[in-house]
């Protein structure tokens, strides 16, 4: 078991360079199976809960703007791909027009990748 994560929330935690993580009540290293029966959740636990709730609230506030950005970027990406493919007839022999068409299609795919990246980042958070 990872004692440090469990003991990080407890007020009885003592850390030192010599001994490492020790319990203030027993003056020994933590030794328990699942949870400590003597754990005291007070200030540290409250601070971590408050920080987690603030981060969750920030993520919830950004949800609407993230989804609007995602759908807008998807729309622009598909629009660029369609405009690039239907810009003019494919039988045009001008090399400049081919560069413009390929550039528009490439930009469209770049917008699609950016939209996916933005949504994936939101989901991870």
Q: What is the DSSP string of the chain?
A: --HHHHHTTBTTEEEETTTEEEETTTSS----SS--TT--BSHHHHHHHHHHHHHHHHHHHTHHHHHHHHHHHHHHHHHHHHHHHHSS-TT---HHHHHHHHHHHHHHHHHHHHHHHHHHHHHH-
Same domain, residue pair 119 and 72: yes
Q: Is residue 19 situated within a structural domain?
A: yes
Same domain, residue pair 67 and 39: no
Q: What is the pTM of this model?
A: 0.52
For 70-117, what is each residue's pLDDT tens digit?
999 999 999 998 888 887 666 666 777 778 888 888 999 999 999 999
Same domain, residue pair 41 and 67: no
105 vs 33, residue with greater confidence: 105
Mean pLDDT taken over the chain: 77
Confidence band, pLDDT 50/70/90 cuts, at residue 1:
very low
Q: Is residue 56 situated within a structural domain?
A: no
Q: Where in the sequence is the domain holding 30, given as residue range(s)?
A: 3-45
Same domain, residue pair 67 and 115: yes
63 vs 26, residue with greater confidence: 63
Same domain, residue pair 38 and 67: no
Q: Is residue 88 situated within a structural domain?
A: yes
Q: Is residue 40 situated within a structural domain?
A: yes
Q: Is residue 57 situated within a structural domain?
A: no
Average pLDDT score over residue span 47-71: 84
Same domain, residue pair 77 and 113: yes
2 vs 46, residue with greater confidence: 46
Q: Is residue 53 situated within a structural domain?
A: no
Same domain, residue pair 33 and 67: no
Q: Is residue 112 situated within a structural domain?
A: yes
Count of the separate structural domains present in the chain: 2
Q: Is residue 70 situated within a structural domain?
A: yes
């Amino acid at each position: 078991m990872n004692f440090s994560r469990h003991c990080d929330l407890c007020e009885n935690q003592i850390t030192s360079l010599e001994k490492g993580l020790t319990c203030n009540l027993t003056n020994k290293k933590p030794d328990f199976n699942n949870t400590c029966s003597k754990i005291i959740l007070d200030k540290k636990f409250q601070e971590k809960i408050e920080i987690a709730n603030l981060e969750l609230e920030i993520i919830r506030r950004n949800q609407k703007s993230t989804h609007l950005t995602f759908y807008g970027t998807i729309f622009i990406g598909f629009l660029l791909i369609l405009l690039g493919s239907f810009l003019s007839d494919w039988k045009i022999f001008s090399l400049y027009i081919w560069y413009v068409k390929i550039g528009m299609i490439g930009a469209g795919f770049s917008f699609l990748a950016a939209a996916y990246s933005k949504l994936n980042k939101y989901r991870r958070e």
